[in-house]
Amino acid sequence: MHAMAKLILSAFLILSALRADAQKQITEAELKDLSFKVNDTLYVVNFWATWCKPCIEEMPHFIQLAENLKDQPVRFFLVSMDFKSQEEKLREFVLKKEIPLPVYQLIPENINHFINQIDPDWSGAIPATAYYRNAQKVYFYEGEYTFETLSSTLNKLINQ
């Protein structure tokens, strides 16, 4: 009985760890730590949300290109702007779609400040994607990508 309880407990712990891994809540400062690194890797930060149709439409392109470019110095982060109250919906989405890229949920303290920090030209509409290298923003784009436009953007930036 005792062993059984232990088994159930460890199963529960493993499951909850898996659940927690589906997405991670981060702050603005943590996002900066992720993307502002002093090295030659290109960090691609895509802002999206589960309810945003064009975001969901372009997501497979990010996944496919991350796979195609896996030997290149490029890393992808999918940063969800879903509401705090939508945390469970986001988790279900990430698990159901089996999204292989790291997914973060960001709930900014001051949304107005956050948007301007990411890029002064960002209106706040999503999808939007920011690119960083050597602790600097190298490019920002507000709008939806096709496979071709994302692919050429990445190739250009990687070979810059």
98 — alpha (psi -120 to 50), left (phi > 0) or beta?
left
Nearest-approach distance from CB 147 to other proteins, in angstroms: 17
Q: Does 102 bind other proteins (CB under 8 A)?
A: no
Q: Does 77 bind other proteins (CB under 8 A)?
A: no
Of 101, 140, 142, 157, the residue at the interface with other proteins (CB under 8 A) is 142
* Dist CA 28 CA 60 (whole Å): 25
* CA distances for 105 relative to 21, 26, 78, 79, 89, angstroms: 12, 6, 9, 6, 12
Beta carbons of 74 and 37 less than 8 angstroms apart: no
Of 42, 45, 69, 81, the residue at the interface with other proteins (CB under 8 A) is 81
Nearest-approach distance from CB 125 to other proteins, in angstroms: 4
Q: Does 123 bind other proteins (CB under 8 A)?
A: yes
Could you write out the three-class secondary structure of 10-38? Answer: HHHHHHHHHHHHHCEEECHHHHHHHHCCC
Number of chain residues interacting with other proteins (CB under 8 A): 23
Nearest-approach distance from CB 87 to other proteins, in angstroms: 11
Residues found near other proteins in the complex (CB under 8 A): 49, 51-54, 81, 83-85, 110-112, 115-116, 122-127, 142-144
